[in-house]
Amino acid sequence: MITRSGHTALIVRLNHPDEVSQNEERYTSLDSDVHMARSAALVTGGAKRIGAAICLHLAQKGHSVAVHHNSSAKAAEQLVHKIRGLGVEACMVKGNLSNPEEVAKIIAEASSQIGPIRHLVNNASKFRHDDLETFDNNSWNEHMDVNAKAPLMLTREVLHNLPADLAGSVVNILDQKIAAPNPDHISYTASRYALLGITEALARGLAPRLRINAVAPGHTLASPDQTEAGFSRAQSESPLGYGPSPDDIAQAVVFLVEAKSITGQVIFVDAGERFLSRSRDVAFETEDVK
Task: Return the closest-CA partner of residue 65 out of 103, 105, 120.
Answer: 120
* pTM (two decimals): 0.85
135 is a domain residue? yes
186 is a domain residue? yes
Please provide the size of the chain in residues.
290
81 is a domain residue? yes
23 is a domain residue? no
13 is a domain residue? no
- Cβ(209)–Cβ(202) below 8 Å: no
Domain hosting residue 39, numbered range = 29-286
Beta pairing class for 210-217 and 2-4: unpaired
For residue 135, give the CATH number of its domain: 3.40.50.720
232 is a domain residue? yes
265 is a domain residue? yes
Per-residue pLDDT 10s for the chain (290 aa) are 444 444 434 333 444 444 433 433 443 344 444 334 459 999 999 999 999 999 999 999 999 999 999 999 999 999 999 999 999 999 999 999 999 999 999 999 999 999 999 999 999 999 999 999 999 999 999 999 999 999 999 999 999 999 999 999 999 999 999 999 999 999 999 999 999 999 999 999 999 999 999 999 999 998 877 888 888 998 999 999 999 999 999 999 999 999 999 999 999 999 999 999 887 887 776 776 44
State how many domains the chain has.
1
1 is a domain residue? no
Cα 193 to chain centroid, rounded:
13
